Amino acid sequence: MQKLVVIGAGMASGRMLEHLFEADPDAYEVTLFNAEPRGNYNRIMLSPVLSGEKSFEEIVTHDDAWYAANKVTTRFGEAVTGIDRARKVVIGANGEVPYDKLVIATGSAPFIIPCPGHKLPGVVAYRDLEDTNAMVEASARPGAQAVVIGGGLLGLEAAAGLRLRGMEVTVLHLMGHLMERQLDEAAGYLLQKDLERRGIKVICRASTKEIRGTDRVEEVLLEDGTELPADIVVMAVGIRPAVQLGKDAGLEMGRAIVVDASLRTSDPDIYAVGECVEYQGNLFGLVAPLYDQAKVLAKSLLGQEDTFKVRQLSTKLKVTGCDLFSAGDFADGPTREDIVFRDPARGVYKRLVLEDDALVGAVFYGDTADSNWFFGLIQSGEDVSAMRDTLIFGPAYQGGAAADPLSAVAALPPEAEICGCNGVCKGTIVGAIAGGATDLGALRASTKASASCGSCTGLVEQVLSVTLGDAYAAPRAQPICTCCELTHEDVRLLIKSKELKSQPAVWQELGWKTPNGCHVCRPAVNFYLLADWPLEYQDDLQSRFVNERKHANIQKDGTFSVMPRMWGGITNPAELRAIADAAEKYKVPTVKVTGGQRIDLLGVKSEDLPYIWRDLNAAGMVSGHAYSKGLRTVKTCVGTDHCRFGTQDSTGLGIKLEKILWGSWTPHKVKLAVSGCPRNCAEATCKDVGIVCVDSGYQVGVAGAAGMDLKETERLADVASEQEAIDLTVAFIQLYRENAKYLDRPYKWVKKVGLDWVKARVVDDLAERARLVAAFELSQTVYRKDPWAEHAAEQTDRYTPIADLTLEAAE
């Protein structure tokens, strides 16, 4: 009988042996090596063993009786250390075995991040029973804490298992969302939400710096300084094919052991199967293709013809209650088309990717009932153009209606606040409707909902339509854009009442029809999120128009303008000299004094921006935000210091205001002025906020305009002290930040809500004024900083080409 030696008793080789013995039990005398001290078991079921849902015995696929019946000589717990191809022997730790045919099935080894402390006891991977047992052991201590590094398939299964064992679990993930290889952002968001609901903490964009501990692991330190106490650290950051044996034996290697379609390596008597092989450039990490390989290899060993083909793969996560499915190719390549469906009420997200009238990829979250049908369509590659419009509704539904635009409102719980001004929640409104208030007017009279600023009118109307159904014909308000069915005001209110704190949360919960918005809605949503959740939400540069992203104004020829801040319009010779030097050094074609009392350098090249900023920073100047929907300038006149008419220190107040307000983002740009006397040299009476100093104090005016519209400010209040003037200004701007529609200047917003509504909050209600000032200050702890310094230090990449092929020598 021929001698067959198999190295590695894993999922691939186990399946291969089954096929082999089934087809011809007497073809080979088999010796099976395994480094693990046990035979074949179902590795993918380690997760239920970890969580305690199964015992190890239940997942063993081949027991001693099976090896005996098939006359397999087992050498478990013995690693193979070499292959001598000349003598055709395999060298094991306990001696050699000769072979006629050899199968390498060594699988993969987990990748371990080589950060300091990675060798401490208590740092484990997630690959075999030893790892699983170490985790189970760690969880036995009451109150034990686990840190899982890696938010992919394995890491999340480990996290869920540890959590079920009662541990406090934190998952650290390097990328922006979980399972980024299988899921898009929206599905990743839903997954994170489900995991958090189970008590698992998830930190994305987390980069591990160090693992600390004396005798064993005690804590994990992140790059950003966060410290996480840990009794066990699980690294699940990827795998590498275990190919050392093949490499040492001189077999042809790629990223793994190269095989042909019959699974033969470059040596005709040596085969390889499983995760340690590379076929036509592909590596393998899931069992489905390995089972295909096993079948082909069994035939090859028996001298029969068969060829291995790479198939489309699908992924499911084995965490009970996290229903997700992804298949095919949804993130690569040109000529693609998306179909997106969201049902916020059920937490469902579905995305199909089409190419050339065929389905090529699918991502589902929350409802995977039809996933097999879709997977079938992906594998067959059939033409789906005839059912394109209803495809996303699945096989049962061919010829149906579009998604319900009201579903976001329908999904709100009764205690969700609809009208912020009067504190009216959805339940109260529904109750009033049941009591006979069946139109807007009646509802306002009975509940006061939408009776104050009016910005929630759209939502109240939606509650009416949801409650009354067809009996209510709502006047349709303009949605933000074609990506959604909601108005700006609706979105702002829902972000607050549903506590939506990320873009994917908004897209999903408010039923967006596109994967990530468009140039109309995304900048608005980005602003709403950062205005409402300054600490939780991270400003997204990619959701900003070019001027705000590059912190400079783009000119019509694609160059930029640079304008440093001059607090209150005051400068000095050193600053002027630095500006002049920069203008010369970067060959600035135009230097202009602006209407806002600043100096503007026009015509700077994109790649020069970080350098000119660095130079201006060095002279003590910061960005003038001449490009932002935020505080622009505070103009002043010279006031009591020099002017014989001046009544107060208008320059001083202007500088104070600018130092408080700079860096803040607002729905549209905000310009201020402070004049020292009613002669009004600083033109304060046509500004968003304009203060005119008088003998008795300060006249604070708001909502002026001097652009396409011309409008004098309206008097907010007259106050005696400078501090009050500052507080009123800050409170007004914060109220504007919290409530206005994106791209409405203050005068437009005040026209909608009414000056009385504004006064009631900013002037009369002292507690509300204090809250507004505090909320503004909280936000400023994040945003009162110089973007130039930050970009010049960390983001110069953004301003330079990724590569310059013109520098390369011609071939």
Partner 1 sequence: MNWIDIGAVEDIPLRGARLLKTHAGCIAVFRTAEAEVFAASNSCPHKGGPLADGIVHGQKVTCPLHNWVFDLNTGEAQGADTGRIAVYPVQLENGRILVDLSAAEQRSAA
Ligand X SMILES: Cc1cc2nc3c(=O)[nH]c(=O)nc-3n(C[C@H](O)[C@H](O)[C@H](O)COP(=O)(O)OP(=O)(O)OC[C@H]3O[C@@H](n4cnc5c(N)ncnc54)[C@H](O)[C@@H]3O)c2cc1C
Residues 6+ apart with CB under 8 A from 304: none
Compute the least distance from the CB of residue 145 to ligand X, in Å: 21
751 near partner 1, rule: CB under 8 A: no
Q: Is 338 exposed, middle or buried (0-12, 13-18, 19+ CB in 10 A)?
A: middle
515 binds partner 1 (CB under 8 A): yes
Q: For residues 381 and 515, which CB has a smaller minimum distance to partner 1 in the complex?
A: 515
The alpha carbon of 473 is separated from its chain's Cα centroid by a whole number of angstroms, namely 38
456 is in an annotated binding site: no
Q: Give the amino acid at 139.
A: S
**Residue 47 found at the interface with ligand X (CB under 6 A):** yes
246 binds ligand X (CB under 6 A): no
Q: Report which secondary-structure segment, H or E, holds 170.
A: strand 168-172
Q: Does 242 bind ligand X (CB under 6 A)?
A: yes
> Smallest gap, in angstroms, from Cβ of residue 558 to partner 1?
5
- Contacted by 242, from partner 1, ligand X, none: CB < 5 to 8 Å by type: ligand X
User: Binding residue per annotation — 637?
Assistant: yes
- Which single residue brings its beta carbon nearest to ligand X? 10
**Pairing relationship of beta strands 590-593 and 599-604 according to DSSP bridges:** antiparallel
Sheet holding 358-365, edge to edge: 314-316, 324-328, 358-365, 348-355, 337-343
Q: With respect to partner 1, which residue has the nearer C-beta, 243 or 579?
A: 243
Tell me the three state secondary structure of residue 203: strand
Q: How far is the CB of 436 from ligand X (least distance, A)?
A: 56
- Please state, in angstroms and as integers, the Cα–Cα distance from residue 706 to each residue in 640, 674, 745, following that order: 27, 16, 11
- Report in angstroms how near the CB of residue 243 gets to partner 1 at its nearest: 16
Residue 648, SS3 per DSSP: coil
Binding mask 132-171 for ligand X (x = CB under 6 A): ----------------------x--x--------------
214's contact among ligand X, partner 1, none, with CB below 5 to 8 A by partner kind, is none
Question: How many other C-beta atoms can be found within 10 angstroms of the C-beta atom of residue 763?
Answer: 18
The verdict on whether residue 521 carries a ligand-binding annotation is no
Contact between 809 and partner 1 by CB under 8 A: the answer reads no
Q: Is 205 in the site for partner 1 (CB under 8 A)?
A: no
Collapsing DSSP to helix, strand or coil, 126 comes out as coil
Query: What does the DSSP assignment read for 404-433?
Result: PTTHHHHTS-TTSEEETTTTEEHHHHHHHH
Q: What is the DSSP letter of 517?
A: -
Considering the rule CB under 6 A, would residue 543 count as an interface residue with ligand X?
no
Neighbours of 514 (CB within 10 A): 15
DSSP assignment, residue 61?
A: S
Q: Which of residues 446-475 bind ligand X (CB under 6 A)?
A: none
Indicate the residue among 164 and 206 with the shorter CB distance to partner 1: 206
Q: How far apart are CA 391 and CA 402, in angstroms?
A: 11
**Site for partner 1 contains 739 (CB under 8 A):** no
For ligand X, the closer CB: 129 or 384 = 129
Cα–Cα dist 613/628, whole Å: 16
When CB distances are held under 5 to 8 angstroms depending on the partner's kind, the choice from partner 1, ligand X, none that residue 332 binds is: partner 1
| Binders of partner 1 in range 546-605 (CB under 8 A) | 546, 549-550, 554, 556, 558
What is the Cα 93 distance to its own chain's centre?
48
DSSP 598-621: -EEEEEE-GGGHHHHHHHHHHTT-
Containing H/E element for 196?
Answer: helix 185-197
Taking CB under 8 A as the criterion, the residue among 24, 338, 539, 683 binding partner 1 is 338
- Which 290-329 residues touch ligand X, going by CB under 6 A? 290, 318
Report which secondary-structure segment, H or E, holds 489. Answer: helix 488-497
Residues 2-21 that bind ligand X (CB under 6 A): 7-13
Size of the site for partner 1 (CB under 8 A): 42
Task: List binders of ligand X among 72-101 (CB under 6 A).
Answer: 79-80
In angstroms, give the least distance from the CB of 130 to ligand X.
Answer: 10
Phi, psi of 225 (to 5 degrees): 95, -10
CA distance 133 to 135: 5
Q: 725: which 2 tokens?
A: 């003037």
Closest alpha carbon to 528 in 736, 334, 377: 736
Judge residue 390's burial from the number of C-beta atoms within 10 Å of its C-beta, 0-12 exposed, 13-18 middle, 19 or more buried: middle
Residue 95 to residue 106: CA distance in whole angstroms: 19
User: Both tokens of residue 730?
Assistant: 């800050």
The order of strands in the sheet holding 80-84 is 80-84, 89-92, 95-98
Q: Establish whether 453 is an annotated binding residue.
A: no
Tell me: does residue 798 bind partner 1 (CB under 8 A).
Answer: yes
Q: Is 185 a residue that touches partner 1 (CB under 8 A)?
A: yes
105 binds, among ligand X, partner 1, none (CB under 5 to 8 A by kind): ligand X
Residue 89 binds which entry of partner 1, ligand X, none, with Cβ cut-offs from 5 to 8 Å by kind?
A: none
> What is 677-738 written as a DSSP string?
STT-TT-GGGSSEEEEEETTEEEEEE--EESSSEE--EEEEEESSHHHHHHHHHHHHHHHHH
Q: Report what 36 binds from ligand X, partner 1, none; CB cut-off 5-8 Å by kind.
A: ligand X
Among ligand X, partner 1, none, the one that 53 touches (CB under a kind-dependent 5 to 8 A) is none
Of ligand X, partner 1, none, which one does residue 79 interact with (CB within 5 to 8 Å by kind)?
Answer: ligand X
Q: Which does 543 bind (CB under 5 to 8 A by kind): partner 1, ligand X, none?
A: partner 1
Cα gap 657→702, rounded to integer Å: 15
Q: Which of 4, 5, 31, 43 binds ligand X (CB under 6 A)?
A: 43
Q: Which stretch binds ligand X (CB under 6 A): 31-39, 216-224, 400-408, 630-638?
A: 31-39
Instruction: Decide: is 356 part of the binding site for partner 1 (CB under 8 A).
Output: no
502 contributes a contact to partner 1 by CB under 8 A: no
The option from partner 1, ligand X, none interacting with 16 (CB < 5 to 8 A, set by class) reads none
181 binds partner 1 (CB under 8 A): yes
Distance in angstroms (rounded) separating the CA atoms of residues 7 and 651: 82
Residue 338 binding: pick among ligand X, partner 1, none (C-beta 5-8 Å cut-off by kind) = partner 1
Helices 440-447/457-468 angle, 10° precision: 110
**Closer of 43 and 62 to ligand X (Cβ):** 43
Residue 499 and residue 507: Cα distance in Å, rounded? 13
Query: Which residue in the set 184, 231, 275, 575 belongs to the binding site for ligand X (CB under 6 A)?
Result: 275
From the list ligand X, partner 1, none, which binds 12 (C-beta under 5 to 8 Å, kind-based)?
A: ligand X
Of 48, 122, 246, 274, the one binding ligand X (CB under 6 A) is: 274
> Which residues does the annotation place in the binding site for siroheme?
681
The residue ranges that bind ligand X (CB under 6 A) are 7-13, 33-36, 43-44, 46-47, 79-80, 105-107, 126-127, 154, 157, 242, 245, 274-275, 285-288, 290, 318
The residue ranges that bind partner 1 (CB under 8 A) are 175-176, 180-181, 184-185, 331-336, 338, 514-519, 522-523, 541-546, 549-550, 554, 556, 558, 606, 797-798, 800-806
> Which residues does the annotation place in the binding site?
637, 643, 677, 681
